[in-house]
Amino acid sequence: MIHLRRATAGLMMRGTDETSGSLFSYVDLEARIPARHPLRKIRQVVNEALASLDADFEVLYTDFGRPSIAPERLIRASLIQILFSV
């Protein structure tokens, strides 16, 4: 049986959900998507839904091991894949 423990001193293996707009580009990602593009509204709704799930995600992670990719990022990536798949 796997036992999940709460982290001590605030260290969790759950990855962070930080954005890096200019990681591989000289143009910020926010500048690439027009202000009235439907993805902006979808992103807002998804971010609000994911924020409400933050506590649920937090209890799923342990305090040992290597940090993961943030579940919010994985969900957003899956959603983009679903929206743009043929």
Task: Please report whether residue 33 resides in a domain.
Answer: no
Task: Please report whether residue 52 resides in a domain.
Answer: yes
Task: Give the predicted TM-score (pTM) of the model.
Answer: 0.64
Task: Please report whether residue 70 resides in a domain.
Answer: yes
Task: Please report whether residue 78 resides in a domain.
Answer: yes
Which residue range is the domain that position 45 belongs to? 39-84
Ordered alpha helix ranges (H), 1-86:
29-32, 38-52, 54-58, 71-84
Task: Please report whether residue 23 resides in a domain.
Answer: no
Predicted local distance difference test score (pLDDT) of residue 79: 94
Predicted local distance difference test score (pLDDT) of residue 50: 93
Q: How many domains does the chain have?
A: 1
CB 75 within 8 A of CB 17: no
Q: Block means of pLDDT (10 residues each) for the chain, length 86 residues? A: 43 63 67 88 94 88 82 91 87
